Structure 1
Amino acid sequence: MVDGSILIIDDNKSILSALEILLQFEYKTVKTINNPNQISSYPDLGDIDIVLLDMNFSAGVNTGNEGLFWLKEIKKKAPETSVIMMTAYGAVELAVKALKEGAADFVLKPWKNEKLLTTIRSAYLLRKSKKEIKNLKQKEQHLKQVLNQDKNYIVGTSKAINSVLKLTHKVAKTDVSVLITGENGTGKELIARELHRSSARKNEVFIGVDMGSISESLFESELFGHVKGAFTDAKEDRIGKFEAANSGTLFLDEIGNLSMPMQAKLLSAIQNKVIVRVGSNKEVPVDIRLVCATNNDLFQMVKDGLFREDLLYRLNTIHIKIPPLRERDQDILVLADFFLKKFASKYGKPQMDMMQTAKEKLMSYPWPGNIRELQHALERAVILAEGNSLKPDDLLLQASPSMKGEQLSVTLEEMEHLMITNALNEHNGNFSAAAEQLGISRQTLYNKLKKMNPDGQ
């Protein structure tokens, strides 16, 4: 017996009895009504899997218009319910019209039991498929909402950050490609998420990819997917990031780390708006909003022959440059207060505040690691602080502070070198732990060390 429900609607009580006897051993629930006017007030019509609906209810009328009317009413109340039309007056035109109005099938009276059972079984499977599709769509929408939840906020009131946000919200209304640049830790991904959240694609998925962590051998598989058997470990079909982000936003971080061959493959996908999975010849169209980010000077890389000029102009329709924290000095204490409250709550110290001398120390520091460094500094301070007030000594900063207004005595490249060296020393050479502290991927850390020591010294 199938765990399904059937509602039979016919003004002929003999028909109702015959169908009820036939179906009661096939389906768990079989109900009948002899007046179609009861359809409007029928309880939980959407829970019925199949409706068997007569097409003519008035004596001497055989046009089928009554049945078509009630078919429309049922589909309004229960669009996923499968409806099978029944009539003693068969006509091809009438059957076609019923199917166009949403009927699952058409049965002539008198019927053959085996054929009727087969027709009902097919309609039941159709109804089941519709329910599964609806459930999958609901789960997909819920998943998108979960994935798009961003518990990080863009905090600040400075003119510099307000200018960035104004441009971000203006550009978000379009579908153009956006290149976000800025030093490490300035919040490039937050701006990318704000672009997505303010766009027409906000109800679709946001997929972020750290390009610096993808090896050249896995580049195509990660971005474009693969089919089963495409290579040794390809045990099943897998979609790539482009397909996963279809209809939504694809964020490619560390875009400046791509090799020239990888750049060529990415350019082809962007230009043609199609991808081909590894091991397949079938082109798959993709519709994405592309946002990329880097801390590298791509224009200089083009001059040095390290980045394709045609790819740069594909990515750079709109350029958003995020200012470093030292150019947002009025935001430093605003951000510090935000992080202080966040971590004080997280670590069970809700009454914590900050001494004025600690604030002065924050304001005099150059913040080479920008907002990410400030965040880590406040988290460490909250964890290590003995009392309820943060003191200057609780703030363990990576380098000696430079007084506001004074020029840094080291270059940013030298500061980055110092931060990497300090992080590796602090974690006894553990690359994973050092990369986590610096807020970059392990692969990006390798790449930066290689750039710092091209001869492997």
Structure 2
Amino acid sequence: MGALPFAPAITMRIIIVELTPSRAIGLGPSLAGIDAAHASGLDAAIETLRTSEPEVIVLDVGTESGPQLATSPAEAFQRLSDAAPGIRIVVVGAGDEMLVQEMLCLGAFDFLTYPDELDALAYAIRRAMRAALLERRPGTSAGRRRLTEVVPGVLTGDPTMRRIARRCERLVGHATRVLLQGESGTGRKTLARMLSQSRKSPAGGELGNGLLPPTLPCSGSTRISDIDDLFDRVRTASPPMGSSGLAPVVILEGIDELSPETQAALLRRLLEGETVWRERNALPRTISIATEHLGSRIAEGQFRRDLYDRIAEVHLCLPALRNRSDDCVELAEWFLQRYQQTLGRHRLRLSDEAIDAIRDHEWPGNVAELSNAVKQAVITAEGPSIRAGDLGLSSCSTARLVSLRQAREEAERDVVQRALKRVNGNIARASEMLGISRPTLYDLLNKLGMR
């Protein structure tokens, strides 16, 4: 039995592109725990970039260099840049100083020569991701463009959420049973409302009347008679909810909480009612909402696999806010502007400390929790700068923030120490190896207490 996509999707942030697979370096061991997707060959990479929005590309030009390559590193770099304008590309491979300078002139974020500089790859990737993050910081033009309303009620810049929104748009008007899985506050109900429509909304318009269709919150005490009552109520509704020719929709919220007995009875109802709408015994179309625990419940036998197969003709896993790249910071800025207007406070801004706290908090309550935290900060902040304490986040988040800072400093110290050791303390050569300027390296040494 194949693996099922029960876990919420994680944004793909890095792609390793092997220019010539037969000569590829094999960069996995050098990534130091960084998750990355792989593309074997330039064409595969271009295809991947059509359907994803990574932040960093690592271009593996191979263990050998020379004119015998079918595609030159420069040509490959240009094609990748054209496919993903503005993306940061770290180049790794064999090459002389001329190739290094050529790639840097083309706009490569960094060039690490093989094999001497391979151990600095993880650090180079993190610097590239950090640069992308800083470019998207609230207040920059890129940051303001990044957060968009992909469907009514869902603001995001995250590639995974954008792909899910596009899939939902294509599903509108189709008689398909959809399962929406994710944590509370990830947008499941908003997407369910969108999917329940019988037609696509006009450009920029709202969908239907914006109301949720009949919804049944499920729990362990929910009986099949409760579900039957909901189905019957929709069947006999006037005016008919299915006037478009499609079966009307009901939402079963928290379906993975149903008892085994109710699951079995619901499965029988679905099997018996699989006829065209308006015919005898036909059932409304179901949109099911499940928690993030659905996968483990199926694996442990607490939720029926055959019922899953019936309710999940399309299965969409919504990522938690903490996994949506930098949406948390972008949304915090959006909520800040909103609450300044509604609460009559102006010229407030998020301090760097608050931004770090927002980025490092787990957000178990997702967008609703973030909204409440920013609203509280707007009300209680004593000055124009909102600090981490104004957000009212739990103490464990503060402890995690401190530990992350320490971990970052330790990682930076380790990389700098190894670079200096390899070049016998030569600052100029060390800065070249690390891909930073000498003044930046001096600042880093001061920050780390290494001078």
The TM-score with structure 1 as length reference comes to: 0.45
Please report the TM-score for the alignment, with normalisation by the length of structure 2. 0.45
Larger radius of gyration: 1
